[in-house]
Amino acid sequence: MAFQDLFGTAIAKFNDRVKTNADYQEVLREYAGRSLRIEIEDDSTYVIAFSANDASLAVSPTDPPEDMVLQTSKSILNRMIEERKVDPLDLLMGKIKVKNIGLHEVSLIKKLLKA
């Protein structure tokens, strides 16, 4: 569970920003009731759930939602976070698999993980 602290910290910061930043409040309004599942092959499954008031994290839930899904390896996710970008070759070669995630959701993920 290498990413639990990173995701937990990012969500706590996101929730703090929601209190004072209209952009973050808009994200919650738009995504309330939705979830982002991040499956990391050599780690765990993380689910970030959005409500009208905040975002929350669950680690390896028994029945993870199928809403927005990102599947990749630990090394690829580390590189995505460090470089703050997605390598298109990783997508083309199937090293990153997504379901119901478009460019708009990528900006959400970047905003959520903003340090």
SS3 42: coil
> Total domain count for the chain?
1
Are 71 and 96 spatial neighbours (Cβ–Cβ below 8 Å)?
Answer: yes
Strands across the sheet containing 55-59: 55-59, 45-50, 35-40, 68-72, 97-99
Q: What is the mean pLDDT of each run of 10 residues along the chain (115 residues)?
A: 88 92 88 94 94 94 92 92 84 91 79 63
Q: Write down the pLDDT at residue 115.
A: 45
SS3 94: coil
CATH number, residue 57: 3.30.1050.10
Strand duo 45-50 + 55-59: pairing: antiparallel
Which domain does 57 fall in, by range?
A: 4-112
pTM value is 0.87
